Amino acid sequence: MSESQLWDDVDEYFSAHLSPEDDTLQAALRDSDAAELPHINVTPSQGKLLQLLAQIQGARNILEIGTLGGYSTIWLGRALPADGRLISLEYDPRNAEVATRNIARAGLDRIVEVRVGPALESLPKLADENPAPFDLVFIDADKANNPHYVDWALRLTSTGSLIIVDNVVRGGRVADPADTAADVRGTRAALELIGSHPRLSGTAIQTVGAKGYDGFALARVLA
């Protein structure tokens, strides 16, 4: 058996017992697939981790950058109280349309708002609205802009908030100084910003599973 088949099998075993998808989550992926969205959503195990982290935070306000079909959005939205709020930023209006339907089917349309446009245009507008600080920010969009997203996350959070950056391994390219691709440079810049910023304490974890070899970074906002 190949190593990645083993990772798949173990991930499937874990999620079957610990993070089974209900009909709503399955339908979200089915409709994302029908609309030909790429299969780059978080896995059920990762979605459940996001949900647990939001619950541990006691999150009332969540910001997501990169909605796709709203799959991670549903996992996160389910961690919120009825008067909670999740704003998710998505560049592609077709993805946002699929996500909006999936979110409505999940009964989360009163909590979740999908905002269409390049996140670097949506974020200053959001900041102008002076929103309550976000308790959790999930960064999962174009990797080249990751340092900008961490920067905006810092402006839109407060002490104790959690910032999560998805996909920080880039197949291992993140540690190859000769690799200067935009996604790798953006990911390195975000990690180095987290590591050096006086208001952040963070770590990064490599993972294997249904999405292969990957990883995420976690950072807590300090005073």
Residues near ligand SAH (CB under 6 A): 40-42, 66-68, 71-72, 89-92, 95, 118-119, 140-142
Instruction: Give the H/E segment covering residue 160.
Output: strand 157-166
Nearest to ligand SAH of 31, 195 (CB atom)? 31
Nearest to ligand DHB of 40, 52 (CB atom)? 40
As a whole number of angstroms, the distance between CA 131 and CA 157 comes to 10
Q: How many CB atoms lie within 10 A of CB 16?
A: 11
Radius of gyration of the chain, Cα coordinates, nearest whole angstrom:
17
> What sign for the dihedral angle of Cα 14, 169, 4, 24?
positive
As a whole number of angstroms, the distance between CA 119 and CA 100 comes to 17
- Residue 64 interacts with ligand DHB (CB under 6 A): yes or no: no
- Residue 90 interacts with Mg ion (CB under 5 A): yes or no: no
- On whether the CB atoms of residues 185 and 192 are closer than 8 A, the answer is no
Nearest to ligand SAH of 125, 199 (CB atom)? 125
Q: Which of 147, 166, 169, 210 binds Mg ion (CB under 5 A)?
A: 166
- Residue 222 interacts with ligand DHB (CB under 6 A): yes or no: no
Q: Which of 167, 190, 191, 209 binds Mg ion (CB under 5 A)?
A: 167
Give residues in contact with ligand DHB (CB under 6 A).
40, 140, 166-167
